[in-house]
Chains A and B, each alone.
Chain A
Amino acid sequence: MNFGFMKAESAPPNGREVAVIGAGPSGLATAGYLACLGYQVQVYDKLPKPGGLMVFGIPSHRIPADRIQRGVRDLERRLGVIFRTNTKICCSAPMHEEEGDHFACDILSLNDLVDNYDAVMICSGSWKSRKLGIQGETLKGVYSGLEFLFPIRAIQYASTNVSVPDVRGKRVAVVGAGHSAVDVVDSAISLGADKVSLLYRRTAKEAPCGSYEIDRMREMGCQWLERCTPVAIHGTDKVEGIEFRNAVSGEQETLPVDVVVGAIGEFPTPPFQKELGLENVRRGEVRWLNMTALDNVFVAGDVLSGPSKIGKAVYSGLRAARSLSNWLDLKAQHRESEYNFDEDKMTR
């Protein structure tokens, strides 16, 4: 991915420095765009390698990891972007609540960044897994989609901190029918799971991943259980079975399994949600596109919209980067009032 696609060569420095928090698709798109305009960009990420979920979440058979790394190298060498990995910008939520926090060696506060840079772009993504909210969810052997997928990719970078879920010879139930559920099924099968069942509360027609993917998974031997809503996970010290309501038959059934993966989505985890007034940014009730309640602090990507797609994150990152440079340019000439927010919003 050539994040610096706006230019073929490097840009003359414009004397401004910007910090980008998060090196996922939106953070890298922002970094590339701004670096092409001549900004000195520093990108902070809690993980040991830039790329975000493109590298640590989505399996490598879907996105070749070297393509992302080549783009990152180009940002570093051609455009002078500086990456500060293993660094978390501390947020209001306690540490070690999100996947990947244990990689962070260095912790900085948002205030430090605001003081030291001309502007800050927050692209921290959505890392907190949605819980199933049913009994037995804390048992050993219950994972969220991200908890399950993250270590499979992360193990290459820090084998002492993470371990790949052990599913060899086990029976696995996956809840959900989005793309991460499909990735969990793929990974579980390639890790040697004995039997994989996919539970979805609606029908194949309504599944976000589409019927083609469902047919493919069934061909691989995955059991497809539609209109099944989990009600409880049973077991004494570890998972022994999942109980669900089958809306087709109208009955409660129990499936004996050893591992349950709830791949039902994530929440955004921004630093200082309230202080930054992110709710207002989401609703578009701000004076400047993608700017938070703090001057010079912008926000883009999944942290704003919730989990979406690489393309949406890239678009949001590019739009916010353009807005950020507009802001700094006009502010330098005391012409902020000339900004036309409604016009900027129209072409969204």
Chain B
Amino acid sequence: MLKGTRTLHIDYSKCIGCETCEAVCKFLHDTPRITMTRTTEGIMIPLYCKHCDKAACMGVCSRGALNRDRDGAVVLQPLLCRGCETRNCVMACPYAAFFATCSGVAVAKCDLCASRRDIGLGPACAEMCPCGAILYVDRDEVEALESEESRKAHKRVMDHIRPPRCSR
């Protein structure tokens, strides 16, 4: 079903931590769905939703508010999410890509710029990244895009959001 659909992919080794992705997302969606964080080593990195093939968030949402749309994006239905206090999705996401809000809808998440896709545009963060670190690519191509450098950089990010000592 997901064959031929596209997703976001960030090559953290190309990212310079300039915050443009977050800025553009915030401009368009108010609560940014791609968010900068500073690791303990002082690297600025964007956390984002990978629209996983097997999305843990979809499994834990008790209200069925997380669904896949025609382009394979995992999208949140605010009407179903509204008022939920469990925030199961926030805890289930392995990439820390759910952002708790203080408005009625409990969380904000990336929908690959759904309203832009409707009119034939791609996600705005990928359009504006100065370094070409964010790509909107075919799911099958992601693996081929990885390099030793990008894997190392990705591991640094993962070690920050899932400290190695915690997983023991």
Count of inter-chain pairs, beta carbons less than 8 A: 82
Listed in ascending order, the chain A residues whose CB lies under 8 Å from chain B are 1-3, 5, 7-8, 25, 29, 54, 58, 62-64, 67-68, 207-213, 215, 309-312, 314-315, 318-319, 347
Closest to B42 in A: A210
Contact indicator A62/B131 (Cβ below 8 Å): yes
Binds A, one of B58-66, B85-93, B122-130, B143-151: B122-130
Interface string of B29-52 (1 = CB under 8 A from A): 010000010111111100000000
Q: How large is the interface on B (under 10, 10 to 19, 20 to 34, 35 or more residues)?
A: 20 to 34
Within 8 Å CB of A5, what residues of B? Answer: 24, 121, 124, 127-128
Binds A, one of B2-10, B15-23, B70-78, B104-112: B15-23
Is B132 on the interface with A (CB-CB < 8 A)?
yes
C-alpha spacing A210/B158, complex, angstroms: 17
Known: A8-B120, A210-B41, A210-B43. A54 touches B130 (CB 8 A): yes
Q: 21 A-B pairs, CB-CB below 8 angstroms?
A: A1-B127, A2-B128, A5-B124, A8-B120, A63-B130, A67-B130, A67-B131, A67-B132, A68-B130, A210-B39, A211-B40, A211-B41, A211-B42, A212-B41, A311-B18, A311-B19, A311-B36, A314-B128, A315-B27, A318-B23, A318-B24
Is B26 on the interface with A (CB-CB < 8 A)?
yes
Within 8 Å CB of B24, what residues of A? Answer: 5, 314-315, 318
Taking A1-B128, A210-B41, A212-B39 as given, write out 9 further A-B residue pairs in contact, using a Cβ cutoff of 8 Å, ordered by the A residue number. Answer: A8-B121, A208-B42, A210-B42, A212-B42, A309-B18, A312-B23, A315-B24, A318-B27, A319-B27
Contact indicator B128/A309 (Cβ below 8 Å): no
Within 8 Å CB of B19, what residues of A? Answer: 309-312
Within 8 Å CB of A62, what residues of B? Answer: 16, 131
Listed in ascending order, the chain B residues whose CB lies under 8 Å from chain A are 16-24, 26-27, 30, 36, 38-44, 119-121, 124, 127-132, 156
Known: A5-B127, A63-B130, A67-B132. A311 touches B22 (CB 8 A): yes
Known: A63-B16, A67-B132. A2 touches B42 (CB 8 A): no
C-alpha spacing A116/B130, complex, angstroms: 32
Contact indicator A315/B23 (Cβ below 8 Å): yes
Closest to A177 in B: B42
C-alpha spacing A114/B104, complex, angstroms: 44
Within 8 Å CB of B26, what residues of A? Answer: 315
Within 8 Å CB of A29, what residues of B? Answer: 128
C-alpha spacing A209/B156, complex, angstroms: 16
Within 8 Å CB of A213, what residues of B? Answer: 42-43
Within 8 Å CB of B120, what residues of A? Answer: 8
* Residue from B20, B42, B43, B131 in contact with A314 in the complex, judged by beta carbons closer than 8 Å: B20
* Residue from A8, A209, A310, A347 in contact with B20 in the complex, judged by beta carbons closer than 8 Å: A310
Known: A63-B16, A67-B132, A212-B43. A2 touches B27 (CB 8 A): no
C-alpha spacing A7/B116, complex, angstroms: 9
C-alpha spacing A312/B36, complex, angstroms: 12
C-alpha spacing A52/B51, complex, angstroms: 35
C-alpha spacing A157/B23, complex, angstroms: 31
Closest to A33 in B: B27
Closest to B38 in A: A210
